Amino acid sequence: MASKMTMVGTSHGAIAVRESEGTGVPVVMIHGNSSSSAVFRNQIEGIGRHYRIIAPDLPGHGDSSDALEPSRTYTMEGYAAAITELLKAMEVDSAVVFGWSLGGHIGLEMISRFPGMRGLMITGTPPVAPEEVADGFKPSEHMHLAGQETFDAKDVEAYARSTCGEPFEDFFLDVVGRTDGRARQTMFTSFAAGTGDNQKDIVADATLPIAVVNGADEPFVNLDFVSAVKFGNLWEGKTHIIANSGHAPFWDQPQIFDPYLVRFVTSVSQ
């Protein structure tokens, strides 16, 4: 058995959780906007044989239910509260967290909410102050889709291909198409309005290790902005770049990405 799926009830709705067969250090992997935990298949079936990978579907995504109260849950801080509540229900009191894109922003919001976080790795996530949102990202043909409530078939494919890249698989279309459109619209509106914590301050003040690993061909995030951000405890003293990789290096270059994650988990678990 490479993984198992369970449903956990929370005040935000029922959350589906995919877990690997490993029994080592818990590694919580949080997916991005309009995706699901299925994108972490390579890690769950690979390094997940050793580590206990816990990969939830965010409310409104994948096999989880839609949020019971969309305005409460479909924000970065709302998702952070939901995942923290989930971990408490699962009696996971200590874990390393990996966040991809929106998942990285959620991970940053969890630092103050989940005291058992040993370290945080982010990918495709610029830690921006509210007034710097536009600076952290770069113009993209498909960026507007991130906050668009209603998708037609062309939107689904465009978003799936731009976020996950190659190798492209049909399940990307399923997870994008399943997503509650209110999740995109609510999250994007709240982010643009500056709700939640100042994430540039979060990383500057953080004492726990934060690792930054991005694809060199990142289509959405301004990597120059990220490299200039001040981190209180930046893992290995620098941001890491994976060549020939886009927004999802764990998917398009797992053989290069996974050793970074293993090295990070090892370093924060000793």
Give the model confidence (pLDDT) of 113-146 as tens digits.
999 999 999 999 999 998 888 899 998 888 889 9
Please give the C-alpha separations between residue 213 and each of 52, 68, 121, 230, in angstroms, as whole numbers.
21, 34, 7, 15
Q: At what angle do helices 76-89 and 102-110 cross, to 10 degrees?
A: 70
Q: List the end-to-end C-alpha distance of the chain, in Å, as a whole number.
A: 28
Q: For residue 40, which amino acid is it?
A: F
Q: Which residues contact 115 (CB under 8 A, 6 or more apart)?
A: none
Any alpha helices (H) in the chain, and if so which ranges?
A: 41-45, 70-73, 76-89, 102-110, 133-136, 153-164, 171-178, 181-192, 199-205, 223-228, 249-252, 254-268
Q: C-alpha angle with apex 84: 40 to 36, nearest 5 degrees?
A: 25
Backbone angles phi, psi at 235, to 5 degrees: -60, 130
pLDDT in tens, the chain (270 residues): 578 999 999 999 999 999 999 999 999 999 999 999 999 999 999 999 999 999 999 999 999 999 999 999 999 999 999 999 999 999 999 999 999 999 999 999 999 999 999 999 999 999 999 888 889 999 888 888 999 999 999 999 999 999 999 999 999 999 999 999 999 999 999 988 878 889 999 999 999 999 999 999 999 999 999 999 999 999 999 999 999 999 999 999 999 999 999 999 999 998
Of 87, 89, 76, the closest CA to residue 54 belongs to 87
Residues 106, 99 contacting (CB under 8 angstroms) = yes
Backbone angles phi, psi at 14, to 5 degrees: -80, 130
Where do the domains of the chain lie, and which CATH numbers do they carry? 3-268 (3.40.50.1820)
The CA distance from 201 to 205, in Å, is 6
Q: Which pTM was predicted?
A: 0.97
